């Protein structure tokens, strides 16, 4: 659950609503139904693919079509996910909540070279206005680091 949130930037409700049929562990693609019932695809990395595959195998057959199940075998709700993250955060000694993981995804994605349009798509934003909020979290150090690899003059041959 944590790996999916950190690797994709999904909203908590989007994760809660994922169905088994929406997950392609071989290709590392998840079909997400976002806000406004807009569908998008999200990629998961190799480590998350492997963790998902192990979870699905251990989850076993169930009458429930949803990916994440609670101990009763029913869909894990948004509230259930939030509570699990809260408990995990307490164990780790800091406040942990779904939007923190979404924010961490967005900032790391930007720092690793994604442009604002890629972040907009990944997060399922309908406009760049919401995406700009994440961009405002970047600092001079981020710009300095990117400039080292993207400088027009330094890259002239």
> Where in the sequence numbering do the catalytic residues fall?
11, 35, 99, 102, 125, 134
3-state percent helix, strand, coil for the chain, nearest multiple of 5: 55, 10, 35
Question: 92: number of CA atoms within 13 Å, CB side?
Answer: 10
CB 53 within 8 A of CB 46: no
CA distance 113 to 138: 12
Q: Is 72 exposed, middle or buried (0-12, 13-18, 19+ CB in 10 A)?
A: exposed
| Torsion angle of the four alpha carbons 98, 102, 108, 109, in this order, in degrees rounded to the nearest 10 | 150
Q: Cβ neighbours of residue 75 under 8 Å, at least 6 residues apart?
A: 16, 64, 66, 68, 69
């Amino acid at each position: 659950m944590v790996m999916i949130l950190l690797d994709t930037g999904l909203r908590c409700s989007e994760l809660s609503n994922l169905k088994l049929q929406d997950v392609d562990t071989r290709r590392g693609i998840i079909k997400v139904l976002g806000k406004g019932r807009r569908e998008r695809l999200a990629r998961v990395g190799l480590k998350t693919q492997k963790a998902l595959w192990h979870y699905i195998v251990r989850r076993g057959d169930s009458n429930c079509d949803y990916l994440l199940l609670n101990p009763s075998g029913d869909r894990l709700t948004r509230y259930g996910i939030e509570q699990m993250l809260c408990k995990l955060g307490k164990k780790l000694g800091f406040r942990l909540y779904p939007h923190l993981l979404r924010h961490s995804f967005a900032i790391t994605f930007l720092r690793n070279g994604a442009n604002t349009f890629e972040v907009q798509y990944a997060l399922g934003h309908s406009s760049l206005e919401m995406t700009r909020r994440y961009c405002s979290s970047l600092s001079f150090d981020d710009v300095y680091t990117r400039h080292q690899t993207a400088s027009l003059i330094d890259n002239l041959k």
